[in-house]
Amino acid sequence: MSSSAIPIQHYAQLDDAECAQRILAAKERLGERLVILGHHYQREEVFHYADFTGDSLKLSRQAATSKAEFIVFCGVHFMAEVADILSRPEQISILPDLSAGCSMADMANLASVEQAWRELAQVLDPDEQVTPVTYINSAADLKAFCGRHGGIVCTSSNARKVLEWSFAQREKVLFFPDQHLGRNTGYTMGIPLEEMVVWDFDLPLGGLSAEQIRAAKVILWKGFCSVHQMFQAEHIDRFKEKFPEAQVISHPESPFEVCRKSDHVGSTEYIINTVRDSAPGSRWLVGTELNLVNRLHQQFKHEGKQVHFMSPTVCMCSTMFRIDPQHLAWTLENLVAGQVVNRIVVPAEEAASARLALERMLEVSP
Ligand code: 13P
Ligand code: SF4
């Protein structure tokens, strides 16, 4: 932050109503110079300020085509990095609270992925035989790794297309950081569970034998989302006993058994569209982040749709929750005052390799 920027402490005591006034006034002043992108998991008090909302793929496309000078991302760190990588150099990507990270993204880092690549080289030739695929929920240097090694990025809405592309390049895939998205997608493509092994980054050779690695089609990183990890197959069973006519829809970051028992599996955008397009009066059990499920409930209750949250405990993306109206007001008022705070910059060389992997993804995405 520049030394003359307005400090965040000035905003800590503001209530949401005052923030609302100031955010709207700043948006008005900044006009077309500003675009606010909001992920579906963002809390309501911030979500409604977004000019565009979407899942990770839709928001990446938005960032790539936006003409705005300032892209303020109400989401998490990797999303603002993608916005910086895909936007033009003169555009500025901003994350209102730098501590809004993604715990799943933190489960893979460049050192451990490079080590896995070296260890795989003891058994096979990874650059000939393995396509590295990183979920977009990962740091920019991992996307750059994929770019350098003939790999690609995926999101929850294009994972199947991306895996098809990956297998057209090389016989195996190293998929990180989310084992569940990798396994759920591989399984729907007909890959047997025995051919999808888990790479434990704390163990030599991922805890696998050379034989297991040679026989594997997909090597899954041992990462997961702490929010979606909470959903269990028993939650579905219990709900279905009470409401046998209900439909179940889950995000593919959920465990395998949950996705198997769900009627529909897909990205946040897919979940919203499916519930929106369902018959009036239908009942849904939804396995994804709480803020989105609450919004669905509010949005569709007037059509008589019943939307229930899958877990009996509260599962929120607590890091995305850190983007609050106070941080948004602080960010925007600084922009009005000519100060950029919390800019996200991916170093040029890293961004160039990461862009390669992201562009491959955008090309194969439906
Ligand atoms: P999508 O919105 O792309 O489905 O992703 C969910 C998610 O976990 C974002 O971090
Ligand atoms: Fe990361 Fe999970 Fe939050 Fe998505 S919901 S941003 S995967 S921690």
The single residue listed with the structure tokens 């009036």 is 280
Residue 217 phi, psi (nearest 5)? -95, -40
pLDDT given for residue 315 in this prediction: 83
pLDDT given for residue 232 in this prediction: 97
Q: Which atom of ligand 1 is nearest to the CA of 55?
A: 2
Half-sphere exposure of 1 (CA within 13 A, CB side): 16
CA of 101 to the centre of ligand 2 (A): 8
What is the CATH number that goes with domain 8-101+319-347? 3.40.50.10800
* Packing angle of the helix pair 325-336, 16-30 (nearest 10 deg): 30
pLDDT along the chain (366 residues), means of 10: 82 95 98 98 97 96 96 98 97 98 98 98 98 98 98 98 98 98 98 98 98 98 97 98 98 98 98 98 98 97 97 92 98 98 98 98 94
Between CA 285 and CA 296 the distance in angstroms is 11
Q: For residues 103, 70, 352 and 2, what is the CA-based torsion angle, rounded to 10 degrees? A: -80
Complete DSSP assignment for 308-358: EES-SS----TTGGG--HHHHHHHHHHHHTT---SB----HHHHHHHHHHH
CA 212 to each of CA 52, 186, 222: distance values in angstroms, whole numbers, following the listed order: 45, 17, 16
Between CA 136 and CA 128 the distance in angstroms is 23
Between CA 149 and CA 86 the distance in angstroms is 19
Binding site membership of 227 for ligand 2 (Cβ less than 6 Å): yes
Q: Where are the alpha helices (DSSP H) in the chain?
A: 16-30, 44-47, 56-65, 77-86, 110-120, 126-129, 140-148, 159-169, 179-188, 210-215, 233-242, 256-261, 268-276, 290-300, 325-336, 348-364
Q: Which atom of ligand 2 is nearest to the CA of 102?
A: 1
pLDDT given for residue 314 in this prediction: 83
CATH architecture of 105-226: 3-Layer(aba) Sandwich (3.40)
Q: Which atom of ligand 1 is nearest to the CA of 253?
A: 8
CA of 126 to the centre of ligand 2 (A): 29
Binding site membership of 156 for ligand 1 (Cβ less than 6 Å): yes
**CATH fold for the domain made of 228-309:** Rossmann fold (3.40.50)
Between CA 365 and CA 358 the distance in angstroms is 10
- The set of residues, in sequence order, having a beta carbon less than 8 Å from that of 104 and lying 6+ positions away, is 135, 137, 177, 178, 223, 224, 225, 226, 253
**Cβ atoms of 137 and 104 closer than 8 Å:** yes
Q: Which atom of ligand 2 is nearest to the CA of 75?
A: 6
The encoded tokens of residue 335 equal 């922009």
CA 70 to each of CA 41, 73, 105, 147, 279: distance values in angstroms, whole numbers, following the listed order: 22, 9, 25, 26, 40
The gap from C-alpha 162 to its chain's centroid, in whole angstroms, comes to: 15
Strands laid side by side in the 130-135 sheet: 152-154, 130-135, 172-176, 218-221, 196-199
CA of 294 to the centre of ligand 1 (A): 16
Residue range(s) of every CATH 3.40.50.10800 domain in the chain: 8-101+319-347, 228-309
pLDDT given for residue 3 in this prediction: 61
- The set of residues, in sequence order, having a beta carbon less than 8 Å from that of 273 and lying 6+ positions away, is none
CA of 228 to the centre of ligand 1 (A): 11
Give nearest CA residue, ligand 1 atom 9.
56
CA of 270 to the centre of ligand 1 (A): 11
pLDDT given for residue 6 in this prediction: 94
Between CA 67 and CA 55 the distance in angstroms is 20
